[in-house]
Amino acid sequence: MKITRKDLEKSQIELTVEVSVEELAPFIQKGAESLSKEVKIEGFRPGKVPFDVLKQKIGEMSIFEEAARLLVNKQIYQVIKENIGDKEIIGQPEVNISKLAPGNPLEYKVKVSILPEISVGTYKDLKIKAEELKVESAEVDKVLNDLVEMRAIEKISEKAIKDGDKVISAVNLFLDNVPVEDGQNPEVTILIGKNYFVEGFDKNLIGLKRGEKKEFSIVYPESHWKKNLAGKKVDFKIEIKEIYSRDLPEINDDLAKIFRFKNLKELKDNLEKTIGDQKKKELDQKNEVKIIDKILEKSKFGDIAEDLIKNESHLMVREIEQNVTSQGGKFEDYLSSLGKNYDQLMLDLLPNAVKRVKSALVFKEIAKIEKIKVEEKEIDREMQLLKERYKGNSEVLANISGASYRAYLSNFILNQKVIDNLKKWNLV
């Protein structure tokens, strides 16, 4: 066997492997035996078809292709280990048979992606100011008011619309007498006083009764999130379909008891803690981003394999898809709302994918330098917690029981350890 190594661009290495006729011979016999189990030939039992009979039935090249497959599967990882053992390989090797013909040596090429060279910048004593955690009373009041809204008692009303009512209305938007795309709505639920569509819209509905129509115009602010309407005069045509009066419970101890708290103070304290926990997660993420960005600024990277970036981009799209579907949405509808297809979204995510790959490489290098490791018992503990959480869910339990998930969990724990240390070393 003759092997030639070639270092390619973008952190890839290609091995050209030439296998002699003599080395290939036993695999030709094995290939014939394997195929003879699948091919039905009258007069012969499966796996017992003579070579010449099989060759006549399926062709000699089919046997050689099976022989090549068996040989590559047996050799490939040993070939890689002996010839690229000095590099850390990522992903799966790409294999192509380049020469295959009866009576001639077999040649195949193996292309692998490797971790790029990396020089980590300063990652200690960066003196990054941590954002302060603070929960404002207005934030608690807002959530409390949302809880009150959930407990509203609604009744159909024949009276004119007033502040606080719920209204079902047809709402159609126009620009210069041309219908706005996605602006034709036969039935929209509107809570008066909540500034639906744009500030000032609700006020135009006050005083109207069921069945009445109205036309009016509003100039959208330049900063409006709908760019096609920002700064423009939009014409509205509305028709009131139904009106509901809404009785809201008072904010007192009785309200707290509905939610199984002793009194209003206990309810507010719980809301403040819940908001604080959520804000802490968000602040932790912001602080992590500050630290990582600072380290990446000073770090240097060799060429990163394109496959590594593409795989990360694919992963990010899948994460978005899972998030959308977990909330009851359809990923196709999400893409449609963006006006993009899968590939376009993946392309948009490539810059962030590059950053995530670089961050992962930095974490790996810091863990190596600082001798940060993950013990098997730590993985076992996390696995046990997951099994308890998903007890009875056979599909999830099957997914987390494999070796690949264990490797993922190990990597996740390692990254978390690195992050925890980076925050300890750098936040002031």
Q: Average pLDDT of 362-391?
A: 93
> pLDDT tens digits for 237-266?
999 999 999 999 999 999 999 999 999 999
- pLDDT for 271: 97
Both 359 and 272 in one domain: the answer is yes
Return the CATH number at 362: 1.10.3120
Domain's final residue, options 182, 215, 247: 247
Residues 267 and 231 in one domain: no
Q: Do residues 207 and 278 share a domain?
A: no
Structural domain containing residue 399: 257-426
Query: How high is the pLDDT of residue 376?
Result: 94
Are both 403 and 298 inside the same structural domain? yes
What residues are paired with 361 via a beta bridge? none
Average pLDDT on 275-298 reads 94
Distance from C-alpha of 90 to C-alpha of 305, rounded to nearest angstrom: 9
Q: Is residue 351 scored above 90 in pLDDT?
A: yes
Distance CA 349, CA 351 (A): 6
CATH for 225: 3.10.50.40
Same domain? 295 vs 388 = yes
pLDDT tens digits, 127-167: 999 888 999 999 999 999 999 988 999 999 999 999 999 99
Residues 229 and 269 occupy one common structural domain: no
Residue type, 158: E
Say whether both 285 and 239 belong to one domain: no
**Taking Cα atoms as reference points, which of 152, 148, 143 lies closest to residue 269?**
143
Q: Are residues 289 and 414 in the same domain?
A: yes
Q: What local confidence, expressed as pLDDT, does residue 77 receive?
A: 87
DSSP string over 40-96: --TTS-TT---HHHHHHHH-HHHHHHHHHHHHHHHHHHHHHHHHSTTS-EEEEEEEE
CA 64 to chain centroid, in Å, comes to 42
Closest residue by Cα to residue 311 from 356, 246, 280:
356
Percent pLDDT > 70 in the chain is 100
pLDDT tens by residue, 162-198? 999 999 999 999 999 999 988 999 999 999 998 888 9
Where are the extended beta strands (E) located within 161-232? 166-175, 178-191, 213-219
Q: Is the pLDDT of residue 344 over 90?
A: yes
Predicted TM-score (pTM) of this structure: 0.66
Query: Could you tell me if 58 and 39 are in contact, meaning their C-beta atoms sit under 8 angstroms apart?
Result: yes
Interior/surface letters 243-277, b for 16+ CB within 10 angstroms, e for the rest: bbbeeeeebeeebbeeeebeebeebbeebbeebee
Distance separating alpha carbons of residues 19 and 157, to the nearest angstrom: 86
For residues 180 and 67, membership in a common domain is answered with no
Please say which residue of 200, 223, 247 terminates a domain: 247
Q: What are phi and psi of 190, to 5 degrees?
A: -130, 130
Quote the pLDDT of residue 85.
78
Stretch among 55-64, 330-339, 392-401 having the lowest mean pLDDT: 392-401
Boundary-marking domain end, from 186, 212, 247 = 247
